[in-house]
């Protein structure tokens, strides 16, 4: 047990160092450099070079004391920045997956719906213009090119009207809807129980995908932290914006993988969950199994009580 606790403590220390302190040291160094360079001439490194030169020119004893104090302050600032970035990452994780039923996220849903409708209307109009028999020659060629571009924009988007503020939220919602449609399963309610019956390999894959999603959100949090430095050095907003864009792309990929693994867990291990809950899955269809699981979790009953028959008609 002592060895296990020592190993656990070492792992936690390494994780804390990798996730909080080291990125925080970079941010603290960037903050100090940004403050020294300033807004007047943001690409002139001379103020920073002069500052470092002044430190190097100080007496050895004074310089040693200053460096020790600076190191302590830097570690504390780095840890604080890491906690702030982690907190922002958690907020972004929730925002990316939020249903968007209330303002201001509901406004984003309406804006996405308007854009979705406009793209399809534009494609319909361009295709109609390309098929206009009165157009010939160059005018016809331009209309056909415009129709192809409009069609590519339409195909690049969602096939159905958006119902969530982000594509990540749409993907998670699609998994929940799929489980309800195919199996009659309330995935949000059943997932903690379903997790308990998954094999170790699938658990590891889901955990890795979840960690990737959290890591992307944390990177976006760091991007916002760097963007804040624009108060003292405006080019920092460019670096922060790039980090946020990259993080959003990574989060979307990780969310797709995570949702696919959740779908896989529902497809392959729903019967296992039913068995653990005492539901006679061998005599039921997949839809009946999911409905029975949802009913059992909603209205718990003794395992010996027979599962009621389900009417397949809606």
- What is the predicted pLDDT for the residue at 301? 55
- pTM, rounded to two decimals: 0.77
Contact 187, 262 (CB under 8 A): yes
- What is the predicted pLDDT for the residue at 70? 67
Average pLDDT over residues 49-56: 68
Question: Who's near 139: CB < 8 A, 6+ residues apart?
Answer: none
Contact 106, 227 (CB under 8 A): no
Q: Is the pLDDT of residue 49 over 80?
A: no
Split at pLDDT 50, 70, 90, the class of 264 is very high
Residue ranges of the domains in the chain?
Answer: 81-98+167-314
Q: Is the pLDDT of residue 313 over 80?
A: no
Does 109 or 5 have the greater pLDDT score? 109
Split at pLDDT 50, 70, 90, the class of 156 is confident
Q: Is the pLDDT of residue 257 over 70?
A: yes
Identify whether 280 is preceded by a cis peptide bond (ω within 30 of 0).
no
The conformation of residue 282, written as its DSSP 8-state character, comes to: G
């Amino acid at each position: 047990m002592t060895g296990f606790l020592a190993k656990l403590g070492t792992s936690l220390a390494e994780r804390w160092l990798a996730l909080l302190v080291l990125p925080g040291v970079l941010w603290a160094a960037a903050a100090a450099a940004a403050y020294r360079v300033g807004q007047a001439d943001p690409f002139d490194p001379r103020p920073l070079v002069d500052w470092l030169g002044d430190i190097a020119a100080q007496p050895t004893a004074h310089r040693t004391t200053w460096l020790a104090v600076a190191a302590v302050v830097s570690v504390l600032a780095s840890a604080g920045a890491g906690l702030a970035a982690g907190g922002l990452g958690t907020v972004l994780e929730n925002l990316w997956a939020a249903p968007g039923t209330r303002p201001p996220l509901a406004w984003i849903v309406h804006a996405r719906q308007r854009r979705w409708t406009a793209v399809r209307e534009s494609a319909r109009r361009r295709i109609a213009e390309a098929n206009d028999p009165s157009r010939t020659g160059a005018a016809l060629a331009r209309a056909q090119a415009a129709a192809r571009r409009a069609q590519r924009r339409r195909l690049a988007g969602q096939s159905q009207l958006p119902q969530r503020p982000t594509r990540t939220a749409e993907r998670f919602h699609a998994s929940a809807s799929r489980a309800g449609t195919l199996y009659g399963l309330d995935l949000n309610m059943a997932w903690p129980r379903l997790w308990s019956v998954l094999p170790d390999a699938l658990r590891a894959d889901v955990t890795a995908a979840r960690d990737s999603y959290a890591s992307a959100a944390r990177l976006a949090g760091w991007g916002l932290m760097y963007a804040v430095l624009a108060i003292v050095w405006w080019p920092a907003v460019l670096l922060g914006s790039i980090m946020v864009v990259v993080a959003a792309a990574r989060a979307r990929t990780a969310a797709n993988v995570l949702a696919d693994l959740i779908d896989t867990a529902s497809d392959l291990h729903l019967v296992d969950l039913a068995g653990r809950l005492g539901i006679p899955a061998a005599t039921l269809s997949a839809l009946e199994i999911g409905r029975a699981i949802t009913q059992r979790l909603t209205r718990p009953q003794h395992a010996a009580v027979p599962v009621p028959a389900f009417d397949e008609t809606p």
